[in-house]
């Protein structure tokens, strides 16, 4: 080898070394970026899990017990594998069959070890278990070559971690969007969700007062036939039915007017409800009297 050839070879080796170092540095930086992305995604998913737990507790959704995670006794019973006593049975079988003679299991054919099939006492174990024709075709897909010889098909291409992380990030974004929508829905009460709290309270107290007004009419009719005296009628109109309407509206607002997720206690506008109920019921009675006199 001449000096020029040696110099060219050394230069080529140096360039290959630099290229290898650059490739190693690039791969190391890529791995660091992937690890950082995985850590960030893990923290994000953990925060999403905590937020979903809080949302479930707020809307009173029962959490699954800690012992019902996947891989419990039900799945362990259905998992393919040796039974619990297989270890002792195989051990006793191999101990009892030791030294009884040469193995009759199929071997390699060259006088070497038979592998798992050559272990005495384990006649049911083969180095290459045979499958039925149908299962063999499903287990080993083949591609027919031009010569007509079946060769194993090529394996699927390796999954790119960066692509998988991008897909996971998009799914996390979608989960955040759905979580925000769920929180917005949880911050609305079941009763008149699109109304403001003041309008909802006015509607509830007015409906309670209207229902009490219907009872006032029933009491007036009962008083006309002599079933209720005048003092009882006045007491129910001035105090009893307005109080019933007020407490009824108060309870309705507390049961169906409270959002599933709310900080503190939502306002129920007690003075406004008291005023509406204690004015609406006597006004219903006065309207009834005016209507009866007008018809006469």
Q: Which of 195-199, 284-288, 291-295 has the lowest mean pLDDT?
A: 291-295
Cα(207)–Cα(225) distance, integer angstroms: 28
Cα(266)–Cα(253) distance, integer angstroms: 9
Tokens matching residue 157: 């291409």
Cα(230)–Cα(223) distance, integer angstroms: 7
Closest CA to 124 of 106, 102, 141, 111: 106
pLDDT > 50? residue 242? yes
Report CA 192 to chain centroid distance, whole Å: 28
Cβ neighbours of residue 277 closer than 8 Å, sequence gap 6 or more:
205, 208, 209, 212, 242, 243, 245, 246, 249
Cα dist from 273 to 198, 246, 257, 276, whole Å: 10, 6, 14, 5
DSSP 188-255: S-SSSTTS-HHHHHHHHHHHHHHHHHHHHHHHHHHHHTTSS-HHHHHHIIIIIHHHHHHHHHHHHHHH
The confidence band for 247, taking pLDDT boundaries of 50, 70 and 90, is: very high
**How many percent of the chain have pLDDT more than 70?**
66
DSSP state of 13: H
pLDDT at residue 159 in the model: 78
Cα(36)–Cα(182) distance, integer angstroms: 30
Tokens matching residue 224: 């006309």
DSSP 97-138: HTTSS---S---SSSS--GGGGSTT-TT--SS----HHHHHH
The confidence band for 165, taking pLDDT boundaries of 50, 70 and 90, is: confident
Cα(166)–Cα(170) distance, integer angstroms: 6
Report CA 266 to chain centroid distance, whole Å: 29
Q: No. of H helices and E strands in the chain?
A: 9, 2
* Beta bridge pairs of residue 143: 151
Other C-beta atoms closer than 10 Å to the C-beta of 40 total 13
Are 281 and 249 in contact by the 8 Å Cβ rule? The answer is: no
Cα(168)–Cα(171) distance, integer angstroms: 5
Cα(120)–Cα(102) distance, integer angstroms: 8
pTM over 0.75: no
DSSP state of 237: I
Question: What pLDDT digit, counting tens, does each position of 207-219 carry?
Answer: 999 999 889 888 8
Burial (CB count <10 Å: 0-12, 13-18, 19+), residue 51: middle
Phi, psi at 206, each rounded to 5°: -65, -40
pLDDT at residue 223 in the model: 84
Question: What pLDDT digit, counting tens, does each position of 117-150 carry?
Answer: 444 444 444 444 454 544 444 444 444 444 545 5
pLDDT at residue 227 in the model: 87
pLDDT at residue 65 in the model: 53
Question: What pLDDT digit, counting tens, does each position of 271-291 carry?
Answer: 999 999 999 888 888 888 888
Report CA 35 to chain centroid distance, whole Å: 25
Average pLDDT, the chain: 74
Cα dist from 59 to 7, 55, 101, 179, whole Å: 77, 6, 72, 13
């Amino acid at each position: 080898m001449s000096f020029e050839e040696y110099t060219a070879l050394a230069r080529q080796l140096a360039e290959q070394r630099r290229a290898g170092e650059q490739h190693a540095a690039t791969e190391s930086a890529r791995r660091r970026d992937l690890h950082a992305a995985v850590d960030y995604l893990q923290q994000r998913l953990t925060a999403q899990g905590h937020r979903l737990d809080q949302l479930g507790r707020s809307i009173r959704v029962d959490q699954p017990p800690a012992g019902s995670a996947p891989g419990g006794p039900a799945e362990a019973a259905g998992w393919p594998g040796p039974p619990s006593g297989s270890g002792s049975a195989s051990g006793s079988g191999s101990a009892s069959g030791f030294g009884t003679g040469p193995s009759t299991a199929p071997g390699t054919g060259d006088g070497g070890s038979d592998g798992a099939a050559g272990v005495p006492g384990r006649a049911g174990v083969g180095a290459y278990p045979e499958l039925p024709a149908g299962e063999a075709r499903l287990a080993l897909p083949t591609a027919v070559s031009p010569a007509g010889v079946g060769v194993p098909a090529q394996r699927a291409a390796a999954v790119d971690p960066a692509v998988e992380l991008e897909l996971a990030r998009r799914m996390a974004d979608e989960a955040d969007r759905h979580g925000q929508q769920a929180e917005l829905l949880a911050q609305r009460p079941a009763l008149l969700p699109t109304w403001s709290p003041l309008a909802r309270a006015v509607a509830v107290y007015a409906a309670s007062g209207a229902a009490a007004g219907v009872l006032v009419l029933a009491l007036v009719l009962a008083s006309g036939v002599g079933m209720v005296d005048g003092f009882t009628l006045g007491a129910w109109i001035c105090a009893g039915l307005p109080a019933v309407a007020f407490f009824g509206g108060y309870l309705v607002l507390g049961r169906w007017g409270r959002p599933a997720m709310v900080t503190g206690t939502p306002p129920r506008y007690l003075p406004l409800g008291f005023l509406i109920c204690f004015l609406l019921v006597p006004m219903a009675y006065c309207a009834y009297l005016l209507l009866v006199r007008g018809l006469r």
